[in-house]
Amino acid sequence: AAAAAGGAPPPAAPPFPFRLAPMLSRSAADEALRELVDAEQLELTAYEEGGAMRRAPRRMAWFAADAAWWYPFSRSHGKGLRAHALRSAPWVERLLQVASAAAGCEFNACLLNAYRIGSEFAAWHADDDPWLDAAAPIASISLGAERDFLVRPKVQNAARQPEDFDGADVAAFRLRHGSMLVMEAGAQEGWRHALPPCADAGARVNLTFRRVDPARVHLQHDGRTLKQNWGS
């Protein structure tokens, strides 16, 4: 690697903590997509950018084992999402069990993302919220249209724009209907991920299963510990 200013080597990329797990059966993936693509719990959120409120580029819903475990996102992200009971969406509850077995972790929460069309996306971010269990993995199940899921190390990326999806340091996974990607413990501390727009893509649903740390969940209500921006 080329030396950085002052002769010191550039920071090394962290170990690659992503893996694909066995896929769902086609019948299970089809049934789950039918239930979740227009789930009644889905809603649009808004965030502040440049002094103006902007609409999030997809619908989302948050499910958790405890109704008090809301999803605040960041200090600039409005009211966040309230927690729905896992049992209120049977396929969320079923897939939580599947993901827990594949990742070797007892998940207790899920963020459901719904992309109606290919122009809806997720900018670069890390799921490194202080109230999540940092020692736990995150499992992601994709349903519907195929999309590219990008990852890149956080080192040397401070000047990059949140919607700049190119770069030699970017790795891509093609997430197909029924696929499962596991982000191992440490992935959120060392890496960011994104889902760029894809003009001709159809509807897609993604479920990311997480473990809320009951000993740290009070940090959801402490504005000093929340990220300033969702992608920070």
- Tell me: the pLDDT tens digits for 157-188? 555 555 566 777 899 999 999 999 999 999 99
In a domain, 226, yes or no: no
CATH number of the CATH domain containing 206: 2.60.120.590
| Neighbouring-strand partners of residue 59 | 114
Q: Over 70: is that where the pLDDT of 88 sits?
A: yes
Return the amino acid letter for 198. C
Q: What pTM, to 2 d.p., does this model score?
A: 0.85
Q: Tell me how many degrees the CA angle 188-18-94 measures, rounded to the nearest 5.
A: 90
Q: Going edge to edge, which strands form the sheet with 83-85?
A: 18-21, 180-183, 138-144, 204-210, 109-115, 59-64, 83-85
Q: Tell me how many degrees the CA angle 136-138-142 measures, rounded to the nearest 5.
A: 165
Domain count, the chain: 1
Give the domain extent around 191. Answer: 15-221
- 44 versus 9: which is more confidently predicted? 44
In a domain, 202, yes or no: yes
In a domain, 205, yes or no: yes
Average pLDDT, the chain: 86
In a domain, 119, yes or no: yes
Question: Which tokens belong to 67?
Answer: 């109704």
What distances in angstroms separate CA 54 from CA 46, 58, 73, 195, one per listed residue?
5, 12, 14, 18
